[in-house]
Amino acid sequence: MTAAPNGKKENILTSWKEIAAYLDRDVRTCVRWEQRYGLPVHRLDRDSKGKVFAYRDQIDAWMASRAAGGAAQANSAAKRSRWPWVIGGLLALAGLGAAVVLLILHGSSVPSRFDISGSRLLALNEKGRELWLFDTKAADLETRDSYGGHFQEKSLGLAYEAVWPWVMFKDLDGDGRVETLFSVQTRSEDGEGDLVCIDDKGVERWRFGAGRELALEAGSFRKEYRIFGFDVDDYDDDGALEVLAVSFHKPDWPCQVALLDARGRLEGEYWNAGYLMEARRGDVDGDGVKELVLGGVNNEYARGCIAVFEGGRLAGGSPQDDPAYRWRDIGPGSEAAYILFPKTDVHAAIRKVGDPVNYFWVHEGDGLTAVTVEAQVFYDLDKTLALRNVGLGNDFKTLHERFRLEGKVSSVPDEAYRRALGEAVVCRRNGTWASVSRASGAAAVNGGK
Ligand SMILES: [Ca+2]
Ligand SMILES: [Ca+2]
Ligand SMILES: [Ca+2]
């Protein structure tokens, strides 16, 4: 129950809408309360339909008296703010009662649902009551349904594609108040580079603009990026949450993976010459500490790729040989290992670019399994990232048979075929490429092209 001094601007509510919002009721209820119970509403002229205004402290006092059951006192509510402190204390207690009543009737002030209206995001509590609205100013913001498919948690979509959140309610900084993370996504795909953090009152707290102007040896890129999605986790194991934002340059590559602290400050970033579409934490090497693993595709090598980071430390760019892909103003990547998976003849019959590792899972303490998702080959790596097995998925078998009948492939998907795929998986550590296959020491980074 705040009681700002009369005459102070913050104390005045200047419309039925503002009065209703202040009381967490609809306008009709407030009008009825004025007529029946003397809710202290004032008018600029005598016409009852004229402009209304009200004082917050008068409304507070009226609410307190109503909650205390003192309906008869409501008419003199205007004088309450000048009552002695003893009565003030009683009113505060009564106010607490009113707050409990409001909580029961209208739910909490914690956002759990949302709606999109034009360019605005509306945060709703569990009972559907509007808590606040935030205007993104984006003229063609994606629909409620689109955002609904990207709400709160990462999920697995069709064709093993990770579906990243675009909107999330989360207490990022652990102060008990829930922040809202919102990635601006538009139908025109313009202006999709912003991730906004909104506080529990609907006020922008910070904003991250994805990407930056970038120079490669072969040319430069504008700062035009689309955020693919974000997620929240304690990526560096320091007990505090970070935001991981994945974005792509328009229209194609490179990809930026940015790690932000709870206040939106850039803690680290990694650049990849091709899309990265999956990121997961897990203890790959069995030392009890989780690594951060990113998966996607490397355009220079036209291969699916995985990068493994110790302690969530993201820096630098992917290892590239061709000057067209080499970073001029980005240092060597901080990854402990960068793995390239071969392109198969089956995938070559589908398309020219690499078969992306958009899905993988970490066997806690015992390596990981990577999936090249379009032709579906499964690569099982142990905790030292040595190859344990190559598996051909059902999609692979179906596609292989189809392309064989169409005369597009002539291989036989047998034991030797799988072994050859395994031998073509290469891993770069400490600046050197090497085969991950125990059977083969030789490594040719472009061998699987
Ligand atoms: Ca918070
Ligand atoms: Ca952390
Ligand atoms: Ca580990």
Residue 9: pLDDT band by 50, 70, 90 thresholds? low
pLDDT in tens, 168-208: 999 999 999 999 999 999 998 888 999 999 999 999 999 99
Q: How many angstroms separate the alpha carbon of residue 305 from the centre of ligand 3? A: 19
pLDDT in tens, 283-322: 999 999 999 999 999 999 999 999 999 988 999 999 999 9
Higher local confidence (pLDDT), 421 or 447? 421
425-439 mean pLDDT? 89
Cα distance between residue 102 and residue 22, in whole Å: 12
Q: How many angstroms separate the alpha carbon of residue 235 from the centre of ligand 2? A: 5
Q: How many angstroms separate the alpha carbon of residue 307 from the centre of ligand 1? A: 31
Q: What token pair was written down for 94?
A: 């009564």
Query: How many Å from the N-terminal Cα to the C-terminal Cα in the chain?
Result: 69
Quick check: 78 pLDDT over 70? Answer: no
Q: How many angstroms separate the alpha carbon of residue 89 from the centre of ligand 2? A: 43
Highest mean pLDDT out of 49-63, 153-167, 172-186: 172-186
* Cβ-based neighbour number of residue 371 at 10 Å: 24
* Cβ-based neighbour number of residue 179 at 10 Å: 22
**CA nearest to 346, candidates 401, 275, 274, 419:** 401
Q: Which ligand is nearest to the CA of 313?
A: 2
φ, ψ for residue 374, nearest 5 deg: -80, -40
Which residues lie near ion ligand 2 (Cβ < 5 Å)? 234, 236, 238, 240, 242
Q: What token pair was written down for 176?
A: 């008990």
Are 262 and 236 a contacting pair, CB within 8 Å?
no
Q: How many angstroms separate the alpha carbon of residue 256 from the centre of ligand 2? A: 19
Q: How many angstroms separate the alpha carbon of residue 290 from the centre of ligand 3? A: 5
331-355 mean pLDDT? 93
Quick check: 277 pLDDT over 90? Answer: yes
pLDDT in tens, 116-158: 999 999 999 999 999 999 999 998 999 999 999 999 999 988 7
Cα distance between residue 229 and residue 235, in whole Å: 16
Quick check: 1 pLDDT over 70? Answer: no
Proportion of the chain above pLDDT 90, given as a percent: 62
The pLDDT value recorded for residue 84 is: 63
Q: How many angstroms separate the alpha carbon of residue 264 from the centre of ligand 2? A: 13
The pLDDT value recorded for residue 76 is: 46
The one-letter amino acid at 364: E
Q: Which ligand is nearest to the CA of 179?
A: 1
243-253 mean pLDDT? 91
Are 210 and 258 a contacting pair, CB within 8 Å?
yes
DSSP state of 48: T
The one-letter amino acid at 76: S
The pLDDT value recorded for residue 92 is: 77
Q: How many angstroms separate the alpha carbon of residue 260 from the centre of ligand 1? A: 15
Q: How many angstroms separate the alpha carbon of residue 366 from the centre of ligand 3? A: 9
Residue 27: pLDDT band by 50, 70, 90 thresholds? confident
Bridge-partner residues for 55, per DSSP? 12
Q: Which ligand is nearest to the CA of 170?
A: 1
Rounded to two decimals, what is the model's pTM?
0.75
The pLDDT value recorded for residue 282 is: 95
Proportion of the chain above pLDDT 70, given as a percent: 90
Q: What token pair was written down for 146?
A: 């689109």
Cα distance between residue 241 and residue 260, in whole Å: 9
Quick check: 111 pLDDT over 60? Answer: yes
The pLDDT value recorded for residue 74 is: 41
